[in-house]
Structure 1
Amino acid sequence: METLWAAAAPLTARGVQDALAARDLATTTVLTVLGRLERKGLVTREREGRAHRYRSVASREDHVAELMRDALDAAPDPGAVLARFLGSIPADERAALRDLLD
């Protein structure tokens, strides 16, 4: 996902593989992971010639916000979770959150 989020345009599996060159992954491995991400609804693909181009469905920020929402929904006491969370973040982030809420 990091590779797709960082890309300026949709990538082919080969483009993803090239971006992850330090990991020395096989094309089949990259295609398997992209297929799983597509089934989970995290990426979409568009045919271009014989290949497909993959792109993320949502931004990194949207994805993280959804994860946070899922965590709160799973908590028996969301208010307590929020209180713990707010107590764990730096003062500047709490101030930014106050500004957003206002």
Structure 2
Amino acid sequence: MVERLFGRRPARHRRADGVPYRSRRCLPLHPAQVRDRRFRRTRLGRRGLDPGDVRRFLDRVALELADAQQAAERARQETAHIKDALRRWQSEQTRIRDRYALHR
């Protein structure tokens, strides 16, 4: 979306080890952090949010976040499995090609 608005990609800052930089305020959110979040009560005579509604919403967000993180982990494991199988296949193809080249 940024590209469409400004016609270029946003700058991606990276650390020396190549990992994208994230400030401490932008660390990955964990389900427990959402569940344990507490909101201040409103002052007497002021309007505020219903604590029960807030708690139910945070529980729902935490469940969805946990599901998303599990799906991402499954995808990472599947990717590693596929890469390993591809490496084995490429090695086998190289051995076959080399054997064929020797017999020519």
TM-score category by the smaller chain? Answer: under 0.3
Q: Output the TM-score relative to the length of structure 1.
A: 0.22
Greater RCO (CA < 8 Å, at least 6 residues apart): 1
Give the number of the structure whose residues are more often strand, by fraction.
Answer: 1
